[in-house]
A and B are shown apart, each in its own frame.
Chain A
Amino acid sequence: MNQPKTIIEKIWDNHVVHQEEGKPDLLYVDLHLVHEVTSPQAFEGLRMNDRKVRRPDLTFATMDHNVPTIHRNVIKDAISKKQMEKLEENCEEFGVSLADIHHPDQGIVHIIGPELGLTQPGKTIVCGDSHTSTHGAFGALAFGIGTSEVEHVLSTQTLWQSPPQTLQVKVNGKLGTGVTAKDLILAIISKFGVRFGTGYVMEYTGEAIRDLSMEERMTICNMSIEGGARAGLISPDEKTVQFVEGRRHAPKGEDFEQAKQEWLALATDEGATYDSTVEIDADEIEPQVSWGTNPSQCVPVSAKVPDPDEVEDDSDSVRRALEYMGLEPNQPIESIELQHVFIGSCTNSRLADLRKAASIVEGRTVHEGIRAMVVPGSFAVKQQAEEEGLDKVFTEAGFEWRSAGCSMCLGMNDDIVPPGEHCASTSNRNFEGRQGNGARTHLVSPEMAAVAAIEGHFVDVRKYDQLVKG
């Protein structure tokens, strides 16, 4: 009988082009996603060396980081404009498909991959973007790469990679009502830290993970990198297969039936072992809010900001973070005054996220002094949301309703948080200056962001449900 294997080992073994003692493996890449920010220097490298894109058919480009989310034709920033034009030129010259700013397939690269059915179980997927880990939700081995590696993949369709260590993140039990996938991943990173996954590929397992929808699984895998893991994935099951079926780039007919069997067989075998395992109980997790300047610095909404004099280690980092965030030790999370709410990003801008936020916002009004915006993850998400009338729900409450892009997650376009102001954000990083120089980011779920927009400060969404029903 064959040795039981993890999905990570199975996908790896299926993609080794060349193996040699003393070298990493030469690994084949099935799908290369490209965007405007991390690709211009790679294409320029090809041009300088008179090289081609080896597999334009396995390469797919879009524009997301820089794009304006209000008026599509008004790109105020000349350098942003140039970067987008460069991508158009490069895709044209090298024969790569591009969903440009006016294309109906445009969106955040990690939202459109799954939407178009490009993302499939068992694939190796790379992109010059650390949140490529998102695609791991489908049981794909997906990870972010640098621009030199982008050039390498464009030219050779491969990467030199050492086999990773495997880490099981086992989530026992069930998430409580009102506790979301975002709270789960924040709680995982809060418990194990921002580097517990370094050097590993993670596989999320356990009952709570199986219970998650595909959208929720994407939220989990998206933030693997915030725990240090270049990739995080979830073994495929019937939910995975159903999500992919019928999408434009998914196999059709008999091919699909065959693919389905292969995909399901990728799941980690009973008895397979991991290099390491960590465990967390889902039923103990509460809605989370980040208070600091890295994603591990978060606490339950009912808790207080920590006191640097009382933490066990790295009190300097806590002190620095509180200073940057303008927070007092022991300040209750619910007392933090907010000025901005951002619902968007590759973590939480899918239709399911917007529906959940809208269900809270419906019939209510954004709190005075709050600027709130919703930025759908893709053109398709926007369109579907509008068909369902979600845009009206948001705009009638006082939210701004924008076009698709990365937007305020990293403020490369005009959507930024001014210095010293606090933002409840459904994005993935609360680093210093991430949403704008001096901006103070609090990472939360879409549900928590929606409640915060209405109330002007953080409120436990579970209590809010009761208030509303009562």
Chain B
Amino acid sequence: MEAFVKHTGLVYPLNRTNIDTDQIIPKQFLKRIERQGFGKFLFYNWRYDDDGNLRDDFSLNYPEYEGASILIAGENFGCGSSREHAPWAIQDYGFRVVIAPSFADIFYSNCFKNGILPVPLSGEEVQQIIEHAEKETYHLIVDLKSQKVYDENGWSASFEVSEYHKNMLLNGWDEISVTLNYEDAISAFEASRD
């Protein structure tokens, strides 16, 4: 997995709450058996019209958000289905960070397996960023080591992340390789129950 240490990027604000994984990646794209190539289907039903053309009234399609790599949205981001295709689509589109006041549990843990940093900030901080990014081109710097999000004008906010998730991302570790170091403990546990 690609490590995540520090990231500077353009912010794309999507001011909606309870964005479910069905919206992030609709079901018709879950039939693929690969991990790659989901980015073009991100927010498919919002981004494209019935004929498959990009809609000019959905903000992600605005030219000013081209190349955005920090997605910010309302509370309970990623609720619903457990589909990891959602973070795959977000990552493949080019986002490395998702900021929201709260995340659904399964989506949150799926992010860490895919080199995406989910950043929980307060509702007030999220609103500040959204308003700023809706008004003008806005870049943020997200530093995992110091657990801070800041801009070039002195605005900053801190966020929580567990030591475990933090180390996993900072080092880009493959979790299975880590766990296989505990194989003796797993075998002993199994033996104790037989």
Contacts and interface: CB of A to CB of B under 8 A. Distances in A.
Contact of B162 (A44, A65, A151, A162): A162
B113 interface: yes
Contacts of B26: 433, 437
Contact of A37 (B30, B75, B79, B114): B30
A146 B113 contact: yes
A148 B22 contact: no
A392 B24 CA distance: 41
Contact of B45 (A44, A149, A294, A432): A432
Contact of B176 (A17, A151, A320): A151
A66 B34 CA distance: 16
Interface of A: 17-18, 22-24, 26, 28, 37-38, 40-41, 44-45, 49, 51, 54, 65-66, 77, 79-80, 82-83, 86, 128-130, 144-149, 151-152, 155-158, 160, 162, 194-195, 198-199, 225-226, 228-230, 294, 314, 316-317, 320, 410-412, 419, 429, 431-434, 437
A51 B16 CA distance: 41
B109 interface: yes
A148 B164 contact: no
A216 B74 CA distance: 34
A144 B106 contact: yes
B31 A434 contact: no
Interface in B176-194: 176, 179-180, 182-183, 185-186, 189-190
Contacts of B9: none
Given A146-B106, A411-B27, A194 B79 contact: yes
B179 A156 contact: yes
B8 interface: no
B31 A433 contact: no
Given A41-B35, A411-B27, A145 B75 contact: no
Given A149-B113, A228-B76, A433-B26, A82 B33 contact: yes
B186 A83 contact: no
Given A145-B82, A314-B17, A158 B179 contact: yes
Nearest to A130: B82
B105 interface: yes
B20 interface: yes
B84 A147 contact: yes
A152 B105 contact: no
16 contacts: A17-B182, A24-B164, A26-B182, A37-B83, A38-B30, A44-B35, A130-B82, A130-B106, A144-B106, A155-B180, A230-B106, A419-B50, A431-B80, A433-B23, A433-B26, A433-B45
Interface string B25-45: 011101111110000000001
Nearest to B30: A37
Contacts of B87: 146
Given A79-B32, A195-B75, A433-B23, A146 B186 contact: no
Contacts of A151: 176
Contacts of B124: none
A429 B33 CA distance: 24
A152 B104 CA distance: 20
B106 A195 contact: no
Nearest to A193: B76
A432 B162 CA distance: 33
A156 B31 contact: no
B180 A195 contact: no
Most central of B28, B31, B45, B182 by chain A CB within 10 Å: B31
A55 to B, nearest CB: 8
Nearest to A227: B79
B31 A157 contact: no
User: Main SS of chain A's interface residues?
Assistant: loop
B69 interface: no
Given A433-B45, A434-B22, A146 B31 contact: no
B186 A17 contact: yes
Contacts of B105: 198-199, 228-230
A194 B176 CA distance: 32
Given A17-B182, A148-B113, A230-B106, A195 B22 contact: no
Which 5 residue pairs across A and B have the least CB separation, nearest first?
A148-B113, A146-B84, A40-B33, A146-B110, A144-B82
Contacts of B104: 195, 198, 228
A11 B82 CA distance: 23
Given A26-B185, A156-B180, A294-B20, A410 B27 contact: yes
Given A228-B104, A412-B27, A433-B45, 14 more contacts: A41-B84, A79-B31, A128-B82, A145-B106, A160-B175, A294-B18, A316-B16, A410-B27, A412-B30, A412-B31, A429-B22, A429-B80, A429-B81, A437-B26
Contacts of B175: 148, 152, 160
Nearest to A85: B33
Most central of B45, B106, B182 by chain A CB within 10 Å: B106
B164 A160 contact: yes
B57 interface: no
Contacts of B185: 17-18, 26
A23 B110 CA distance: 17
A432 B33 CA distance: 24
Given A228-B76, A314-B17, A431 B114 contact: no
B176 A49 contact: yes
Contacts of A194: 18, 76, 79
A437 B45 contact: yes
B82 A18 contact: no
Contacts of A44: 33, 35
Nearest to B87: A146
B102 interface: yes
A23 B166 CA distance: 11
A83 B22 contact: no
Contacts of B163: 22-23
A429 to B, nearest CB: 6
B147 to A, nearest CB: 15
Contacts of A77: 31
A51 B177 CA distance: 10
A408 to B, nearest CB: 11
